[in-house]
Structure 1
C-alpha cells in the first residue's frame, strides 16, 4: 500500500480519516484522462465484486442505508468529459473531474467516502493511483468498516490488475 500522491487533491482530504488506502498500477500511455481510465475499470469489474455489491445492497437496505447499485452502472453513451460534479457514475457521484484526477464520492448517514483516481503520465506509461478516504459519522459507520475495510484491500488491487498490462 502507498501514500496518496502529494499533488493529488485527495491528499488534502485525509485529515481525521477513519480509513485510507492507496494502490498503484500502470497502463500503457494512451493519453487517457482519469475518468476514461475509471470508466474502463468500472466496466471490467470482476463478477465476484458485483456479487458482493449486490449482497451489500440487500443487507444494508434493512438498516436504512442506500442501495448503491453496481460499479458498472454507467451510461455507455456518455463520454468521460461529459461527467459533471454531482453526476452519478456507478456506485458513486462525481465530486471532481479533471484530466489527471477524478474524485468520486458517496455520502450516507453512517460514513462519507471519497475515491480518487490520479494519473501521472510518463513517456510510455501512466501511473494510476487509486486512493480511498473514509470518514465515519457514527457507530454504524465503524461497524460497517469492520467488514468493508479488509475486503476493500482486496477489491482495489483486483480491479487494478484488470488494467491492460504495460
Structure 2
C-alpha cells in the first residue's frame, strides 16, 4: 500500500507553505512513471502559456527559466535523473518523488500508486518574500491544473480500453 509520509514531502508538514494531495481511481493500475509519462504526453495548452509567463516574470528576480514540460517519454528513471525541470529524488515501486529547488523555494511533487488509485502530492517550502508572492497565484492554479491532469489521465485510460 502506498503511504504518503514525511519522506514524500519537501519538509515537515508544519514547515510547509503549500501542501496539496489529490487522488483519483483509474480504470487500470499504472506505475508512477507510467502515470507521469501519460500525464505529460500532451501538456495542456494553458500550461505552456503559464510557464512562459512564469519564466518571463521570474527572470526579473534571477530565477532560471524552466520552460515547462516537454512530453518526452521515459522508460526508466533513477535517483539523480531529470524529468524536465524536476530532479528525481526518489523511486519506489509505488512512488516517484520529484523536486525543484532554488533560492526562493523548494518543491517536491510525488506520484503515488496503490492498485488503481493514483495520488499526486505537492509540497513547498518558501525561503523569502519572492517565494511567498510566487505561491499566491501558483498555489490555487496548481490545484486546478493537477485536478484537470488527473481527470484527463483517467479519461485517456478509459478511452484506450
Corresponding residue of 1:113: 107
Work out whether residues 73 and 89 of structure 1, in 8 Å CA contact, stay in contact via their aligned partners in 2.
Answer: no
Runs of at least 5 residues in structure 2 that lack an aligned partner in the other structure: none
> Given the superposition, is the C-alpha separation of residues 12 and 60 from structure 1 closer, same or farther in structure 2, using an over 3 Å criterion?
closer
CA RMSD across the alignment: 1.9
Corresponding residue of 1:22: 21
Runs of at least 5 residues in structure 1 that lack an aligned partner in the other structure: none
Report which of the two has the higher share of helix: 2
Aligned equivalents of 1:27, 1:10: Cα separation in 2: 22
Corresponding residue of 1:98: 92
Work out whether residues 85 and 95 of structure 1, in 8 Å CA contact, stay in contact via their aligned partners in 2.
Answer: yes
Q: Deviations over 1:60-86 (max 9, x none)?
A: 112100211222353x3x41x2x1212
Shift of 1:91: 2.8
Aligned equivalents of 1:11, 1:150: Cα separation in 2: 18
Work out whether residues 14 and 20 of structure 1, in 8 Å CA contact, stay in contact via their aligned partners in 2.
Answer: no
Number of aligned residues? 153
Using the size of structure 1 for normalisation, the TM-score is 0.83
